[in-house]
Chains A and B, each alone.
Chain A
Amino acid sequence: MEAFEYARPTSKEEAVKLLAGTWGETEVLAGGTDLLSLMKDYASNPKRLVSLSGIAALKGISSQPDGDLRIGATATLQELIASPIVAKQYPALVEAAHGVRSPQIQSLGTVGGDLLQRPRCWYYRGGHGLLAQHDGKSLVPDGENQYHAILGNSGPAYFVNPSSFAPILIALGAKVRVHGPSGAREVELSKFFRTPSSESEREYDLKPNEILTEILVPAPGGAKMAVYEVREKEALDWPLAAAAVVLNTSGKTVKSARVVMGHVAPIPWPSPEAEAALAGKTISESVADEAGKAAVAKATPLSKNAYKVQLARVATKRAILAAAGGA
């Protein structure tokens, strides 16, 4: 990797002052599990790293007086797994953390870092830029696109959002709090991710000199929830398709549902179609299957990833069944 300056502030205000106003000049270091690899591949070459490890205000997981769960941006996956509050109220968050199969990543990786990790697209990691363009044209549609998007892929971005937590956090109605030069702001996580239209944009709603400080998750109020990932191997890897489901039920009947797929589009992909297929129904194998079918009805696979349509359908179906069967 390139040489860089390093600073370890102890407050979010200081961290923001140390960040440049232009993407690429500076980067924020949390767990480092993604950033250092990007830097070793020269896909990211910041002149300064601003470490968050010295900022106590960004750590920890706790219940708020209003019933929300507050997850500090630098709380690790291991802390999330070990949290009694999370285990009791948000079992699907624990399940999502277990999906990251490596204890070594769970020790270091942070929840904020999971949300802000950059795409796994091998063109991006190989130095072709976030949009993988060569002479103004994306390499993906005619290239090795077996792991790329099947939804929201009309261009210019074809990568998939790699986050393990974003789908379930969006399904739970989470917000993120961001700190910048003019103070704090909150964003609904469902509106936080976006498909970039040029190389100068990022895939999330942060300015170069803003940091994500915490994630706020509403009390689940008895909702049933689950995540399901389809993966090539059981050891550390990113899923091929994933789904998160939150069901609000009255007796056995679904009053309302949230269904969000992961690893299928440049952003976590909510499916109002699947949600509509569940509303008012009693969950059964066939109802779940219909919802899975609805979730991928609008998929537009690329030349080598049509298989992912079936995987996303099955992930959605199984997440629905797991949620209905779970506590």
Chain B
Amino acid sequence: MSRKKDKLARPPGRGSVSRRDFLRGAGVAVSGGLIAGETTKARAAAGATTPILGPGKVPITLRINGKPQTLELEPRVTLLDALRNHLDLTGAKNVCDRGTCGACTVILDGDPVYACNVLAIEAQGRNIQTIESLTVGGKLHPVSAAFVEHDAQQCGFCTPGFVMAVKAFLDHHPNPTMESVEKGLGGNLCRCGTYVGIRKAALQAAKSVKGGLHNA
């Protein structure tokens, strides 16, 4: 069994190659001979009939923004790393990677989740919606448009997670109040402190969605 540390969890600094290209290369390099390009076969434990998968790569099919995508991933790969490092869907951000900051928020079967808290292998069979699906034909989703209008971002790194958290919140709470928005966004952090703009954006987006500007 490979017991090497997952270097993907600790990205290096900037370089002349793009960070994702570098990570792809680094991922292969640290994976070593056991699993480079090789899919491990399923087997069962003594007395049990359930197949045991990994620790090497196994086929994983994810339904992302309505499209099934099949990848070869180790069971330890999170949904966030699958999206960012293997599918070039880099809208969800890797910030704390510990289920605290909300920057990696995606919508799983209609509910907001931290993509860093979900193993890709566990997300199989579920509908995964990422921020990339919100813009259709170059037209911003009402939530994104409301963020622009209310200047609801500063550095912008938390923004995709916040937009997805707002979308999921409004899907479940179409008639929000300022108080319910504050509580409903308790799972996301903005270190620039743009909360006031974000809350206003959420309230406006609720009106826009009801006014028929919804496109996703």
Contacts and interface: CB of A to CB of B under 8 A. Distances in A.
Contact of A104 (B4, B9, B74, B113): B113
Contact of A18 (B1, B48, B99, B117): B48
B197 interface: no
Given A1-B9, A3-B4, A32-B122, A102 B55 contact: no
B184 interface: yes
Contacts, number: 135
A108 B187 contact: no
Interface residues of B, number: 51
B145 interface: no
Interface stretch (A4-12, A151-159, A219-227, A294-302): A4-12
Interface string A26-64: 000101110011011110000111010100000000000
A58 B211 CA distance: 42
Nearest to B126: A53
A3 B6 contact: yes
Contacts of B208: none
Contact of A2 (B3, B51, B52, B169): B3
27 contacts: A2-B6, A2-B76, A3-B1, A3-B6, A3-B55, A3-B56, A3-B74, A4-B55, A5-B53, A5-B54, A5-B55, A6-B119, A7-B45, A17-B48, A18-B52, A33-B99, A40-B97, A47-B1, A49-B75, A102-B186, A104-B105, A104-B113, A104-B114, A107-B108, A108-B118, A234-B182, A236-B186
Interface of B: 1-6, 9, 45-56, 58, 74-76, 78, 97-100, 102, 105, 108, 111-114, 116-119, 121-122, 165, 168-169, 182-184, 186-189
Interface of A: 1-10, 14, 17-18, 29, 31-33, 36-37, 39-42, 47-49, 51, 53, 78, 98, 101-105, 107-108, 234-236
